Amino acid sequence: MESSPKRTRKQKSYPSRVSELLLHWIWRNRLFESAALRTLNGQAVEIIETGTFHPQGPDFQGVKARIDGVLWIGSAEVDIAPDSWYAHKHHENPAHRSTILHIVWDTSPHALTIDMDGREIPILPLAPAVQADILQRLHTERPSFPCASLARLLPESDWISLYETWGEKRLISRHRTYRSERELFEAFWRALLYSFGAPDGQVFQLIAESLPWTVFTRSAETLVQKEATLFGIAGLMENLPAPQHPYERELSDTWRYLKRKHNWCSLKIRFRPARPAASPWIRLAQAAALIHTHPKPVELLLHPPAALPVPSPYWLKHWAWQKPLAIPLRAASPFLYQNILINVLYPFGIYYLRYLGRLEEALDMVDKFRRCAPENHTYARLYAKWAYPARSAWQTQGQIQLWRDACQLQACLSCPIGKAILTR
């Protein structure tokens, strides 16, 4: 099979991949040099009609093209690469018998597209026919989402509506069916410690799994007992220098007593390096303070505090055992608490109220969630740069789910934004 000289790898000056949505856009809007169109076999192609986008069956119907001087009327399938034809099982689909062109971005010289009748369908690579200035305007090699360069073709209201929809999907996707109140509370406890430990959350979750909430609150009544328990179970109380501060002696004696009384064992945990103000010691002390002021999960879920309570005074001046902070802490980080509210307290509060059948109160908590200030995570910055910024934490949570379940998978044709772009 003879390939066109324009397709030699040495002359290649275009990106190896673009998003499928961008490829659709290029085709639909004829953003290619007509004279440069060649099939993989080197046949000249003249596009008379690009057709109409169709979400079911071949991507574009009513396509008119002159291939090697012969007029063809039918459908066109658009894929990033020819192997998608077989991955999507188009070769087994009768609806694709009308396909006259398989439009791809780039391909190897040996690719072949065959329909269910054994007919070879001409492969049309668009990459060699797209001018560099158009690619520079539409395509970015930097990490983004598939329609990034086209995002602002649509109004901000469309994107805000999308964020809202995906915010609800995220809340639902994280929900589990709990057989009992106790099961829900233990799931809440694991999620709570995970959030205190983020981005080292899985390590903190191990502590919750080895120390159920009810055992923790029943066995450790005072704040120091709660701090000693969490530090001890986490393995932080092992092989420490001799106490020098009165609090250190109290903490050490308390852990020895509780460990012997309840036959507890320390976990062998390796924590990630963290900045001093976010050290495991401080985060666990903050968690202990929160549980000490709200020993019952119901109180914490239905009436979350305005801010994290302050741990023992020692942890305002130290970030680890006998290691003072350069600048003493005045209060717990509001960003940490915002993360806990958004990822744990509000979601589990909603789940709990739904479990009790108190739906109106659950909706009230959803409204509180929607009034939370937006987060400043990677995905929030990404969509703010290319599309429009989210207006609430509900929407920034939606952006996370949107990225994971749609944009990362390039599921553009099932996304209302992708469909709207293609039908403009």
3-state SS, one letter per residue, for 370-404: HCCCCCCCHHHHHHHHHCCCCCCHHHHHHHHHHHH
What's the rounded mean pLDDT across residues 80-104?
94
Tokens of 311: 């741990």
DSSP conformation class of 17: -
**Res. 8: pLDDT tops 70:** no
**Which amino acid would we find at residue 196?**
F
Q: Which pLDDT does position 6 carry in this prediction?
A: 44
In this predicted model, which residue has the larger pLDDT, 284 or 15?
284
Q: Which pLDDT does position 139 carry in this prediction?
A: 63
Q: Which pLDDT does position 67 carry in this prediction?
A: 96
Contact 163, 399 (CB under 8 A): yes
Q: Which pLDDT does position 4 carry in this prediction?
A: 42
In this predicted model, which residue has the larger pLDDT, 136 or 231?
231
Q: Which residue has the tokens 């979400």?
A: 55
Q: What percentage of the chain carries pLDDT values higher than 90?
A: 79
pLDDT in tens, 25-38: 899 889 999 999 99
Q: Interior CA angle at 56 toward 54 and 59, to 5°? A: 45
What's the rounded mean pLDDT across residues 392-418?
92
**Which amino acid would we find at residue 403?**
W
**Res. 386: pLDDT tops 60:** yes
What's the rounded mean pLDDT across residues 205-211?
96
Rounded-to-integer distance, Cα 261 and Cα 229, Å: 12
**Res. 9: pLDDT tops 60:** no
Domain ranges (residues) in the chain: 5-139, 156-170+374-422, 177-370
Contact 351, 297 (CB under 8 A): no
Q: Which pLDDT does position 12 carry in this prediction?
A: 53
Contact 216, 233 (CB under 8 A): no
Please name the residues in contact with 290: beta carbons below 8 A apart, sequence gap of 6 or more. Answer: 300, 305, 308, 309
Prior bond to 199 cis, omega within 30? yes
What's the rounded mean pLDDT across residues 129-135?
82
Mean pLDDT of the chain: 91
Q: Interior CA angle at 204 toward 201 and 234, to 5°? A: 150
Q: Which of 10-24, 112-126, 262-276 has the lowest mean pLDDT?
A: 10-24
Contact 39, 126 (CB under 8 A): no
Rounded-to-integer distance, Cα 326 and Cα 310, Å: 18
3-state secondary structure of 103: strand
Cβ neighbours around 359 below 10 Å, total: 10
